[in-house]
Amino acid sequence: MSNDITTGELDRRIRDHEKRSAAEHQVIHDRISRVSSESVQVDVHTEIENERKKEIEEVKRRVSALEARPGITLGRAVVAITVLVGILGLLIQAYTAVKGAK
């Protein structure tokens, strides 16, 4: 009866299984400990996410404020027209001075 398992053999197999299980559980425990030490806590993560959302909203607000402004204001348009009229006047004066000198 070579297929029969003796009491000693059964006891040895159970002890070997317990040793393997303990080793596997220790490896899993070490992995969990390592991951938890490297991970960010939930409240810290939530705080960071809230700050990021606030920054995004601030940027969106600034962009919409810039989009609402006209490209050129009335004051700048008046200044640009005044400068162009001044330059045009100088060119006319220079042209008439050159024509009169001939």
Q: What is the pLDDT of residue 2?
A: 60
Could you say which DSSP state residue 3 is in? T
Domain coordinates in residue numbering, the chain: 1-39, 40-69, 73-102
Continuous segment of H or E residues that includes residue 67: helix 42-68
pTM for this model (two decimals) = 0.38
Residues 24-51: tens digit of each pLDDT: 999 999 998 888 777 777 788 889 899 9
First to last CA, the chain: 136
